[in-house]
């Protein structure tokens, strides 16, 4: 993945430190960076920058007071990067280097800023921890982009089977207990995998810890710790039971190692005439969505869980 780095020359030290932390990604050939120091003598400056802009898959904006003060950085490079971001052609990552008024800029405020919570790198006790947080986010985005490219190649290479039914139509059907059980098991697996990945992300964030415990085919547990909060430790245990179980097809307790006969809430598999979905039951939160697919249920439950530890998902 090719990354264009936009920065003020006054932030050259930050640029150099970022490159140090990107070394692993570059060694793995997962990312290739470009910035204006790479322009060779005799080349036309604007032409070379324009070519690199259109070739980039990723834009890294090193935001600082000097970056914001630079008309070229903001009005030329940042604006073009955001245009390609909006068009889905590239991805913009905002890296806050020094304290500045970036949050007052609508174009930047609506993007996720790194390091964590947009805390400037210069404000971290250990700047290397801040750069690590930045690089982990870049790695996550690079991995996701590579995965999408592989999927696209596979889709193009796969033989196209004839479409007997137009995707604009839905077909009514009846769902039996086997359908329900298979959907429940697949939904539980999706929720479990989501929590396992999310715990890994939490554990990589400065000031947070996470633990995932797989308790077998029908249960798992997770713990998050917010070190910045006095009561910042939360637990959850999630169970999957047979269809029609009183506590829910998939149910959860906000306790560590919770028994399988207790619950704070859950999800039941429910069908309409066309498809199956999940419905929240016994909720302690209120205002639950009426129907969820497994991915939506996983995200919904995860957000409810971490909010109790004073953590939100940006």
pLDDT tens-place string over residues 224-276: 999 988 888 999 999 998 555 567 899 999 999 999 888 888 999 999 888 89
| Beta pairing partners, 236 | 222
For residue 180, CA distances in Å to 17, 176, 199, 249, 295 come to 53, 6, 28, 10, 17
Q: What is the pLDDT of residue 91?
A: 92
* Residue found by looking up tokens 């007997």 in the block: 164
Determine phi and psi for 154, rounding to 5 degrees. Answer: -60, -45
Its pTM stands at 0.48
Retrieve residue 119's tokens.
């805390």
Helix (H, G, I), strand (E, B) or coil at 90: coil
Which tokens in the block code for residue 58? 């990723």
pLDDT of residue 168: 54
Do strands 233-240 and 219-226 pair parallel, antiparallel, or not at all (unpaired)? Answer: antiparallel
Strand partners, 95: 62, 114
Q: What is the pLDDT of residue 38?
A: 40
pLDDT at 242 (0 to 100): 58
Tokens of 104: 């007052």
- Ranges of residues in the chain with a pLDDT under 70 are 36-48, 145-170, 242-246, 282-289, 313-314
Q: Give me the torsion for CA of 251, 254, 255, 256, rounded to 10°.
A: 80
Angle (CA) 132 19 74, round 5°:
95
Res 287: pLDDT: 58
pLDDT given at position 43: 39
Q: CA-based angle 295:297:302, to the nearest 5?
A: 100
- Per-residue pLDDT, 28: 86
User: Phi-psi region for residue 55, left (φ > 0), alpha (ψ -120 to 50) or beta?
Assistant: alpha
Contacts of 237 (CB under 8 A, 6+ apart): 215, 219, 220, 221, 252, 253, 255, 256, 257, 258
* Cross-strand bridge partners of residue 96: 63
The pLDDT score that the predictor gives to residue 153 is 37
């Amino acid at each position: 993945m090719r990354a264009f780095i936009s920065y003020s020359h006054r932030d050259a030290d930050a640029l150099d430190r970022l490159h140090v932390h990107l070394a692993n990604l570059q060694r793995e050939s997962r990312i290739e960076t470009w910035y204006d120091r790479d322009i060779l003598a005799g080349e036309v400056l604007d032409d070379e920058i324009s070519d690199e802009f259109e070739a980039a898959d990723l834009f890294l904006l090193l935001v600082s007071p000097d970056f914001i003060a630079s008309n070229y950085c903001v009005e030329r490079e940042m604006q073009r990067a955001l245009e390609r971001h909006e068009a889905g052609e590239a991805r913009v990552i905002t890296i806050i280097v020094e304290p500045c008024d970036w949050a007052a800029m609508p174009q930047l405020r609506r993007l996720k800023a790194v390091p964590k919570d947009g805390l400037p790198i210069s404000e971290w006790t250990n700047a290397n921890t801040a750069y690590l947080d930045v690089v982990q986010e870049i790695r996550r985005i690079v991995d996701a982009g590579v995965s999408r490219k592989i999927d696209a190649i596979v889709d193009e290479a796969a033989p196209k089977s004839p479409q007997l039914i137009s995707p604009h139509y839905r077909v009514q059907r009846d769902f039996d207990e086997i359908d329900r059980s298979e959907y429940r098991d697949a939904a539980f697996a999706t929720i479990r995998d989501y929590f396992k990945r999310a715990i890994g992300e939490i554990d990589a964030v400065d000031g947070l810890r996470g633990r995932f415990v797989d308790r077998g085919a029908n249960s798992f547990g997770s713990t998050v710790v917010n070190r910045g909060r006095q009561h910042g430790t939360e637990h959850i245990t999630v169970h999957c039971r047979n269809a029609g179980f009183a506590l829910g097809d998939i149910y959860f307790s906000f306790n560590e190692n919770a028994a399988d006969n207790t619950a704070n809430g859950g999800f039941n598999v429910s069908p309409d005439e066309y498809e199956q979905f999940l419905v929240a039951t016994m909720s302690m939160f209120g205002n639950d969505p009426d129907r969820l697919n497994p991915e939506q249920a996983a995200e919904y439950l995860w957000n409810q869980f971490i909010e109790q530890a004073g953590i939100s998902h940006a």
